[in-house]
Amino acid sequence: MLKIFVSWCLGGEIIHLNEEQQLALTVIRDINDTLKALLQSHIPELAGEEAIVFDSPGDMEQPVTPKLSVFLYLITENPYLRNEEPLAVGLDKMRRPPLYLDLQYLFTPYAQNKETEMIVMESLIRTLYDYAILSGGQLQGNLSGSGHDPLKITPKTLGLDELNKLWSVFPNKAFKLSVAYQVTPVIIQSDIVADITRVVEKKTVYQRMDI
């Protein structure tokens, strides 16, 4: 199974991408924007532009006003969408099937007091329960036009041991109440396009046989 752990920096040479490749690279950003827009519109405490951040709990400090850490901690291949057919590109090319991913997020509220954190947490759970399927105008960026309609949000049950292991990677950070959710399916289009030869003409020849 493909497992990709999120890194915090990217390096290497500068490459020039075509428009289609650039759109593919914005998928996760558009999903982040979709989550942010959904939560800000339903949780008054998080209405401020800087209230929702996509930083890990390891990077968070005690805020003056309520904040929510939305941490993408794991990306895995969707096990149910592996055997898709190649996609036709015109009459003479085929593109490799897209890669379907599941994104797993950890949501952690921060506030000056525990009561406000609990209020934010309750509102968060309610919102993601009420809007577990996102479609149409709820999708930000290019998601709606790139096959992500609908997008599903489902809770992930993490036991105490799993949560402790996850929080152990954040040095000098005390454990805080958190919830995990999965966003799926996330579609990553392949850049590999192969030339093919299609059957464009069929000729049937009848020949009389003397017996």
- The 10s digit of each residue's pLDDT in 155-201 is 999 888 888 888 888 888 888 999 999 999 998 876 766 655 655 66
CB 43 within 8 A of CB 123: yes
Check residue 209 and give its pLDDT: 66
Task: Write down the domain spans for the chain.
Answer: 3-7+15-195
Specify burial of residue 80 (Cβ count, 10 A radius: 0-12, 13-18, 19+). Answer: exposed
Topology of the domain covering 3-7+15-195: STM4215-like (3.30.2000)
- Using DSSP, how many helices (H) and how many strands (E) does the chain show? 4, 10
Instruction: Report the residue count for the chain.
Output: 211
pTM above 0.85, yes or no: no
Q: Distance between CA atoms of 169 and 34, rounded to whole angstroms?
A: 27
- Distance from C-alpha of 150 to C-alpha of 147, rounded to nearest angstrom: 8
Residue 10 pLDDT level (bands cut at 50, 70, 90) = very low
Q: What is the pLDDT of residue 198?
A: 59
Instruction: Give the integer Cα–Cα distance in Å for 56 and 108.
Output: 9
For residues 75 and 20, what is the distance between their CA atoms, to the nearest angstrom? 22
Residues 6+ apart with CB under 8 A from 63: 110, 111, 112
Interhelix angle for 114-130 vs 27-42, to 10°?
110
Task: Report the mean per-residue pLDDT for the chain.
Answer: 81
